[in-house]
Amino acid sequence: MLVVLVGSKATKLQDRVMVGQKVYETGIDLAHTSRTDDREGPIEPVECEPVTRDRVEAVLPRFIGTVMQRPPAFSAMKIGGRRAYAIARKAEDQSQLPKLEPRPIRIDDIVIESFDWPMLNLTVMCGKGTYIRSLARDIGEALGTGGMLASLRRTRVGGFDIAGSVAPDDLPEKMVQDDLQPIPVELLGSD
């Protein structure tokens, strides 16, 4: 889900919209890793023993609250004025990837939706700036397994949720002012 703001009045509210809680549905592959922490990079199998759901449940609480998270090497974070992904794309191997400093992020809750080794499906409620790819990697590291994002779907941003969204194919070919709706004040974030 992507919140699209149109017009100068609406775009000025972008910071208030994006500060709200995000909700993601994500699939994590615990048997593989990737340089990009998702399916976009070269995928490597990891030799490890399958873990149990009980073990996963025991590890997840350490990621809830305000925690330090290292952004993925393939991110838009800047290093010396350059985007990390631009540096990472030139890296010939894992050892040459940029190492970004951990930073505080907020994860409000993590719910296991299903677990069938090696696929772990979660719903993650978090604050702005949380990298779900990094969470997948970090959960795998905590379990002593692989950990990469296999799927990701954002279902909520602040007061905007997937139930009230419009698919791109359902938008008019040419939008006019009457197609736009004002942002209700109750949908603006206040975090």
Tell me the per-residue pLDDT of 60-74, one tens digit each, with 9 for 90 and over: 999 999 999 988 777
Spatial strand order of the sheet with 160-161 comes to 65-69, 103-116, 119-126, 22-29, 148-157, 160-161
Looking at the fold, whether 188 and 111 belong to one and the same domain comes out as no
Residue 83 lies in a domain: no
Looking at the fold, whether 183 and 149 belong to one and the same domain comes out as no
Confidence at 163, pLDDT banded by 50, 70, 90:
confident
Looking at the fold, whether 140 and 179 belong to one and the same domain comes out as no
Residue type, 7: G
Residue 91 lies in a domain: no
Residue 76 lies in a domain: no
Confidence at 186, pLDDT banded by 50, 70, 90:
low
Report the percent of the chain where pLDDT is more than 90: 49
Looking at the fold, whether 191 and 111 belong to one and the same domain comes out as no
Residue 144 lies in a domain: yes
Looking at the fold, whether 15 and 52 belong to one and the same domain comes out as no
Residue 53 lies in a domain: yes
Domain that holds residue 43: 21-70+103-157
Looking at the fold, whether 116 and 182 belong to one and the same domain comes out as no
What mean pLDDT value characterizes the chain? 86
CA dist 22 and 186 (Å) reads: 16
Residue 124 lies in a domain: yes
Looking at the fold, whether 178 and 190 belong to one and the same domain comes out as yes
Looking at the fold, whether 3 and 31 belong to one and the same domain comes out as no
Q: How many domains does the chain have?
A: 2
Per-residue pLDDT at 79: 73
Looking at the fold, whether 109 and 49 belong to one and the same domain comes out as yes
* pLDDT above 70 (res 158): yes
Residue 81 lies in a domain: no
Looking at the fold, whether 122 and 152 belong to one and the same domain comes out as yes
Residue 150 lies in a domain: yes
Looking at the fold, whether 188 and 168 belong to one and the same domain comes out as yes
Looking at the fold, whether 15 and 53 belong to one and the same domain comes out as no
The CATH number of residue 121's host domain is 3.30.2350.10
Q: Which residue has the higher pLDDT, 175 or 113?
A: 113
